[in-house]
Amino acid sequence: MPEPIYLDHAATTPVRREVLDAMLPYFEARFGNPSSAHRWGREARTALDEARERVAACLGASSDEVCFTSGGTEADNLAILGGWRILKAKGRTTVVTTPIEHKAVLESVHKAAAEGATERFLSLDGNGTVIMDDARAKLTDDVALASVMWVNNEVGTIQPIAELAALAKSRGVFFHTDAVQAFGKIDVNAKTIPFDFASISGHKIGAPKGIGAMYLRRGAPLEPLFFGGAQDRGRRPGTENVASAIGLAKACELAVAEREAHCTAYRALRDRLEHGILAKVPDAIVNAGGGDRAPHILNITVPGADAEAMLMALDLMGIACSGGSACQSGSTGNSHVLAALNPGGNKGASVRMSVGSLNNDAGIDRAIDVFAKLAMKARGIVAA
């Protein structure tokens, strides 16, 4: 069988060699607990503080505005629930979001609703972009917090975060953005855009799984979700993951330095994949294809095909992709994102392909050929 082709970079990325090299000493000789007062602890504390400063610099932030987390999901939960639980005491009880957020956001909003919050959802156009007139109507003086994903993880839609964050600020509403798919593709900069909270995740940019960060602007309300220690200024108690924090810092620096070059390369690969598939499967539908999209994500529906059969067949042919979010159990099943964009239903197989460092033109061309052949076959299976 030919070399496998990995088209699921939106799910996770390989750990970069530079990142691993930076981390290794903190598994071995420099293993100290950063809360310890002796030499080993002080050495770990210094490295952790430096990692925090480096991540902060990549976000246009100060080091005290960065909280290390276990990843994007925890950062989303901490921002939304940690923020709302403080704000509800001030009479602002509504939480605003969109129907196409990552489940980490949607489930956090539902949890806030179970505790007394009012949920409010922004309207979207057919490409999944927030309709700004609707946002102006819904960000009222009862809203505590609004959360809008910068880049949608399933279809790649880029939201007008600068405009939304400025609107929220003008209304006294705290604003969170899940920037997990945006960081490394877009300039996520707290100096130029007035968001109050932002979530990033290491394993989307060449750092290990299990490490992420939340940006929180000075003065932003936050109640911790965990208890039992004073680490991270009490915002996230527990012994810090020093090695992974150092890996995240290195990955963030590389992502920022290489962002322009990577975006150019990824967009060319994504467009090659998209145009090639459409040339061979002319009735395929590019989901959110008419909107502003991140350069690395393509979500395409093949009418009349079965999603599970398509994905299994692609895997058997050595091509890795997904049916939607990798965090959603049974990711070959129905997508809440596609359901929101097309309430009438997607009558076919929807496949997310996301390009990255492991891809090249030759692999993309083979993926096009295999995809087209399997699309025809899958439609035959459905029709039988």
The Cβ of residue 13 has, within 10 Å, a number of other Cβ atoms equal to 22
207: phi then psi, degrees, rounded to nearest 5: -100, 175
Q: Which residue shows structure tokens 């929180």?
A: 216
Question: For residue 93, how many C-alpha atoms fall within 13 Å in the half-sphere facing its CB?
Answer: 8
The Cβ of residue 90 has, within 10 Å, a number of other Cβ atoms equal to 9
Tell me how far CA of residue 177 lies from CA of 216, 277, 358, in angstroms. Answer: 11, 32, 28
Known active-site residue 327: yes
Closest C-alpha to 57, from 346, 241, 255: 255
Single-letter residue type at 244 = S
DSSP, residue by residue, 232-289: GGGTS-S---HHHHHHHHHHHHHHHHHHHHHHHHHHHHHHHHHHHHHHHSTT-EETTT
228: phi then psi, degrees, rounded to nearest 5: 125, 10
For the chain, what is the radius of gyration of the CA atoms? 21
Element (H, E) at 178: strand 174-178
Q: Which residues contact 280 (CB under 8 A, 6 or more apart)?
A: 368, 369, 371, 372
The number of residues in the chain equals 384
**Contacts for 44-50 with beta carbons within 8 Å, 24 or more apart?**
44/242, 47/242, 47/246, 48/240, 48/242, 48/245, 48/246, 50/249
β-strand 212-216 against 197-201: which pairing, if any?
antiparallel
| Torsion, Cα of 79, 84, 90, 91 (10° steps) | 140
User: Residues 58, 252, 321, 327: which is the catalytic one?
Assistant: 327
Q: What residues act catalytically?
A: 327
